[in-house]
Amino acid sequence: MENFIAYNPTKVHFGKDVVGTLGKTVAGLGKRVLLVYGKGSVLRNGSYQDTLDQLDEAGLEITEYGGIKPNPVIEDADAAARLGKEKQVDLVVAVGGGSAIDTAKVIAVCIGEDCKAWDVMKGRVDIKKTLPIIAVLTLAATASEMNSIAVLQNDQEKEKFGYRHPSMFPTHSFMDPTYSCTVPPEHTGYGIVDLIAHALENYFGMGEASLSDRFAEGIILEAMEGGPELMSKLENYDLRAKIMWAASNALNGITASGRASGDFASHAIGHQLSLLYDTPHAASLSITFPAWMKHMKPRIGHRLEKLGTRLFGDPSIENTIKRFEEFFKSMNCPVRLQDIGLDQANWEEIVTLMNKNNCQGKNPENLLNDQDRSAIVDRMLEPN
């Protein structure tokens, strides 16, 4: 087992009506609140109104910044931070999924340090001061509600990646699965694929970490068991709760203990698709992960054997990859570039951007080079 730090100070309030204590909790942290959210679903599922009511009742001064994009951009973080500084806010409350929460994290740093979002993302800020971040989760997917990671994209530079810093853990996260009961099938499937991808990225990281393996396997089985059931009962609270909690645990650190790093090459590659074609994050992962596994077989075969044995009682590498691919398809997610309207004509620009941004993953034993990247895009274009 590699040396590691395990640290996650976020206080999670999970279950029905937990937002009922948000006002009191936030009032203990400050007076002036910047409320950050996305483009509409939070208005329909009740989470926005419930949060607003709570902040109002607690007598807090509210400044709003809405319209965060599904693939969130640095411009919104900068604009919201400017607004927050002008209003001298004490903390940031995000209502939504990973996009709103990721953006709120960077806003909290930008206000605390009086700096630009891109400098934060590039690790050029020595972060000492961050505003408290409060999350009200409405979508099971990214685990941003329970980790210190933010993923933002810079369209000008054509770069998208994750940045993590211990000051970016939410102080409190309110997770009422009820809000996710109205998530449409498409995004429900995306969330399930996203959480499986997170568990897999750590599974393919560097180092022997037997308990982290067991936790990752448990999370994947939970998603593979609950996912199909949820797709046929979208408004079922218990199934929503099951998937929401699995998603948080898939990237809250418990599958990373004892490893030098996760891998995250599939994430890096997927981000290039989002940059080029605004592909939803999870849709990029359901295409890249099987392609990456197929290409990496000679290097990760022993891990795929263990995974297949544990999950399916079958050590066959081919079968394991196939089972994931079939599962992603059953979640209505694309598994080839053709499934999102691309073809061989796009090969060049995808590979070029992957190379420019040096998509290589983080596991030092399995870093990708130019040839790997080309071969993986070939796999993404294979007939299905």
For binding to a second copy (CB under 8 A), which residues are involved? 1-16, 18, 208, 210-211, 214-215, 217-219, 221-222, 225-226, 238, 241-242, 245-246, 249, 254, 257-258
Beta strands 133-137; 149-154: pairing state: unpaired
Min dist. Cβ of residue 237 to a second copy (A): 9
Q: Which is nearer to a second copy, 230 or 351 (CB)?
A: 230
Min dist. Cβ of residue 293 to a second copy (A): 23
Q: Which is nearer to a second copy, 208 or 326 (CB)?
A: 208
Q: Which is nearer to a second copy, 112 or 253 (CB)?
A: 253
Query: Which two three-digit tokens encode residue 274?
Result: 């989002």
Q: Which is nearer to a second copy, 258 or 334 (CB)?
A: 258
Q: Which is nearer to a second copy, 209 or 377 (CB)?
A: 209
Min dist. Cβ of residue 225 to a second copy (A): 8
Min dist. Cβ of residue 46 to a second copy (A): 18
For the range 273-277, what are the long-range contacts, defined as Cβ-Cβ under 8 Å and sequence gap of 24 or more? Answer: 273/340, 273/350, 274/71, 274/153, 274/160, 275/153, 275/155, 275/158, 275/159, 275/160, 275/353, 276/158, 276/346, 276/349, 276/350, 276/353, 277/340, 277/342
For 72-118, the three-class secondary structure string (H helix, E strand, C coil) is CEHHHHHHHHHHHHHCCCCEEEEEECHHHHHHHHHHHHHHHHCCCHH
Q: Which is nearer to a second copy, 77 or 149 (CB)?
A: 149
Q: What is the CA radius of gyration of the chain?
A: 20
d(CA 213, CA 262): 12
Min dist. Cβ of residue 162 to a second copy (A): 22
CB 55 within 8 A of CB 90: no
